[in-house]
Structure 1
Amino acid sequence: MRARTQLLLVTFCVGILLVTDVSGERKKKRHRHGENAPTKTAVENDEDLSSADEESNLSVEEEYKANLQKIKEEFQYDPCMDKHCGAGRVCQPDKEGVAQCVCIETCETEPDPRRRVCINLNETWPSDCEVHQARCFCNSGDSRCKGPEYKHVHVEYYGTCRDMPECSEEDMSDFPRRMRDWLFNIMRDLADRKELPAHYLKMQRAAETNLTLRWTNAAIWKWCDLDGSPHDRTVSRHELFPIRAPLMALEHCIAPFLDSCDRDNNHKITLNEWGKCLELDEADMDDKCDQLAEIAAAGLEDE
C-alpha cells in the first residue's frame, strides 16, 4: 500500500511539471510567432498555432510516457509489501508477479548454543528456524520432509533437551486454577505497564471487578492473542510456544496440560477446548477475536 501511494504521488508531481512545461512552451512559441514571423492573416496565425500545439502535445506525451516508465522502474511495486507469511515461510513473487509464501530455503548457522531448541519429539535442534522450515517442508509436500511425524513438529522450549520431572496427578488437578491465575496476572501486569492494547484493556478493567470475567476475559485474551497467522480461530501446537517455553522450567505440568487441551488430538485447540481445559463455563467463552481485531484496526486507522 505504501509503495502504491508513493508511485501515484510521484506520477502526479511529474504530470504537473510536464503540464507547466507545455504551458511555458506554448507561450514561447506564440511570442516567437509574434516577433519574428511575417505578417499573416488571423486564419493563418490560428492554423500555425494549432499545428505547433499538436507537435508540442505529441512531444509532451512521448516525454510523459518515458518519464512514467522510469518512475515505474525506480519505484517498482513490491507484491510482497502487504503479504504476511507464517513461521518458516518467506514471501516470493511467482511468474505472474503474485505474492506467494514459500518455505525458507536456508537458515543461518547459529553458533550460540543458547539458540538451540528442544522440539516435541525430544530432539535438540540448532535453531527454531530449522524447526519451522522442517514443518513447512512437510506441510507443502516438499521432498525434503524428514517424515510424517514432522508435519506438526514444534518448539517445546529453548536450550538442549533435558529430563523433566513427572507431573503428579495432584499437581495436574490443580493446574487449571494456577493457569487461570497466571493468565490474569500477566494481563494485569501488561495493563499496569501500559503494554496491553486498548481493545484488551477494557476487558482487563471489567475483569478487575467481576470474578467470573476475571477468568474468562483473561482466557479469551490469551487465546485471541495466540491465534496468529493464519488467523483461523484455532491455536495450533506451535502457536502455544509463547506460553509453553517460558513456563517449562517453572511449571513441569505445562506440557501435559497443554497437550490435554487438544481433546480431539488434531493439533489445534478451539476456544471451547481452551475453556474446558481451564475449567471455565462454555457459555462464558465468547469468541470476540474478530470483533477485537476490527476495533484494533479502526484504532490504527484513526492514528
Structure 2
Amino acid sequence: MRSIWLLLGLALLALSQVQAAEEDLDLSDLDLSDMDENEEEFLRLLEEKAKIKDVERENEIANQLAAVQHNLLNPVVEVDLCETMPCGAGRICQLTNEKPECVCIPDCPEEVDTRRHVCTNTNETWPSDCSVYQQRCWCDIQHEGCRNPDNAHMHIDYYGACHEPRICDGEDLKEFPRRMRDWLFNVMRDLAERDELTEHYMQMELEAETNNSRRWSNAAVWKWCDLDGDTDRSVSRHELFPIRAPLVSLEHCIAPFLESCDSNNDHRITLIEWGACLELDADDLMERCDDVQKAQPHLLG
C-alpha cells in the first residue's frame, strides 16, 4: 500500500509544472490512514501549494476586475489638439508633427444652387462664401491658387450674383452719414423693444431715447462694439459684413461709405474712424466706449 502512495507522490511531483493538474488536484478524498509521516508531509506540501495557487488566481482575478472598474470610472479621453486651435474663415486645423496649425481649406463643396453665390467688394461673383475665404487665404500665404494678390483683402459684399452697382455721389453721399446714424438708432431701439440687448446696452438705449445728444453716439458705439467680434479694438472689413449685406441692395451708398471709413487704408476701422464717418464727436464716442469697457470688459478686450 505504501508503494502505491509513493508512486502517486512521484507522479504528482512530475506533473507539478502543469497548471491544469495543479488546479484540478483534490486531496480531500484520499485515505491518509496508512501513510507514514514523510508521505503525509509530502502530500501536505502539495496541498499547501495548491491552496497558494488558488489564492494567487483569486488575487489575479480581483486585480483584473479592479482594473476594469477603474477604466469604467476613469475612461481615457483622447484630447483633440485642434479643438483648442481657433482658425479664421477659410482655414482649418490640422496636425503637423503632432502640432496643430491652421491651413487654408483644401476643397470647397460644389454649390449648384445659384442662391449660394456671393458677390464680393470687387463686384465679382463667386460660387460660394467658402471659395471667397479660400481664395483670400491662398493670397495671404502667396499660394499658387491665388488669382490676384489684392484678393487677400477681398470680402463678401452680399449674397447672390453681382448686379450693376449704382453710383453714389453728390447729395446721396453727403446725406448718407445722417441716414446711417438714424438707421443704427432704429435698429438699436427695435432690439431693445424685443429685449435682445444686454443690460448695459439697454441702459444706453434708454438714455438715447431721453437725451437727444446721446442718441447717435450711443447707437454708434453699440454697433461698433457689436461688430468687433474678436475684441481687438478695431473692426475689420470682414466684420462689417453684418452691416453691409442687408443694406447693400437698399442703400447704394453703403459700400463707398464703409470704404471711406478706413481713412488710413489698413483694412480696419477704429472707433475714431467710425465716428468721423458718422460725423460724430470723437471725444463723446471714446467716453461712451470707456463706459462700455468698464461695464463689460470682455466686449472690448
Change (3 A) 1:64 1:202: farther
Secondary structure of the residue aligned to 2:226 is helix
Secondary structure of the residue aligned to 1:102 is strand
2:244 pairs with 1:244: yes
Secondary structure of the residue aligned to 1:107 is coil
Query: Contact 1:187–1:204 (CA<8 Å) still a contact in 2?
Result: yes
Separation (CA, whole Å) in 2 of partners of 1:70 and 1:259: 56
Match of 1:112 in 2: 113
For each residue in 1:126-158, what CA deviation from the matched residue of structure 2 results, as whole angstroms up to 9, or x when unmatched? 111111111112223433222211110111111
Separation (CA, whole Å) in 2 of partners of 1:249 and 1:119: 13
Residue 67 of structure 2: which of 58, 63, 66 is its match?
A: 63
Match of 1:19 in 2: none
Query: Contact 1:199–1:295 (CA<8 Å) still a contact in 2?
Result: no
Query: Contact 1:118–1:159 (CA<8 Å) still a contact in 2?
Result: yes
Match of 2:88 in 1: 86
- The more displaced of 112-121 and 84-93 is 84-93
Residue 96 of structure 1: which of 76, 98, 102 is its match?
A: 98
Separation (CA, whole Å) in 2 of partners of 1:282 and 1:113: 43
5+ residue gaps, structure 1, are: 1-47, 298-303
Secondary structure of the residue aligned to 2:83 is coil
Instruction: Please state how far the C-alpha of 1:270 moved relative to its aligned partner.
Output: 0.8
5+ residue gaps, structure 2, are: 1-51
For each residue in 1:30-75, what CA deviation from the matched residue of structure 2 results, as whole angstroms up to 9, or x when unmatched? xxxxxxxxxxxxxxxxxx9xx99xx78x947993798389822xx3
Separation (CA, whole Å) in 1 of partners of 2:89 and 2:256: 24
For each residue in 1:78-126, what CA deviation from the matched residue of structure 2 results, as whole angstroms up to 9, or x when unmatched? 233344332212233443344x332222111111111111112221111
Secondary structure of the residue aligned to 1:238 is coil
Secondary structure of the residue aligned to 1:118 is strand
Matched letter for residue 210 of structure 1: N
Change (3 A) 1:296 1:277: closer
Separation (CA, whole Å) in 2 of partners of 1:141 and 1:62: 57
Separation (CA, whole Å) in 2 of partners of 1:139 and 1:186: 35
For each residue in 1:194-244, what CA deviation from the matched residue of structure 2 results, as whole angstroms up to 9, or x when unmatched? 222334222222222122221111111111111224x32211112211111
Change (3 A) 1:209 1:154: same
Matched letter for residue 155 of structure 1: I
Separation (CA, whole Å) in 2 of partners of 1:269 and 1:221: 15
Separation (CA, whole Å) in 2 of partners of 1:212 and 1:93: 54
Matched letter for residue 71 of structure 2: N
Larger radius of gyration: 2
Matched letter for residue 75 of structure 2: I
Instruction: Please state how far the C-alpha of 1:183 moved relative to its aligned partner.
Output: 0.5
Match of 1:213 in 2: 214
2:205 pairs with 1:204: yes
Query: Contact 1:199–1:296 (CA<8 Å) still a contact in 2?
Result: no
Instruction: Please state how far the C-alpha of 1:292 moved relative to its aligned partner.
Output: 5.6
Instruction: Please state how far the C-alpha of 1:176 moved relative to its aligned partner.
Output: 0.6
Matched letter for residue 247 of structure 2: L
Q: CA RMSD in A?
A: 3.0
Secondary structure of the residue aligned to 1:265 is coil
Secondary structure of the residue aligned to 1:108 is coil
Match of 2:279 in 1: 279
Match of 2:255 in 1: 255
Match of 1:162 in 2: 163
Change (3 A) 1:168 1:295: closer
Match of 1:234 in 2: 234
Match of 1:12 in 2: none
Match of 1:139 in 2: 140
Query: Contact 2:139–2:151 (CA<8 Å) still a contact in 1?
Result: yes
Separation (CA, whole Å) in 2 of partners of 1:246 and 1:281: 27
Moved over 6 A (4+): none
Matched positions, count: 241
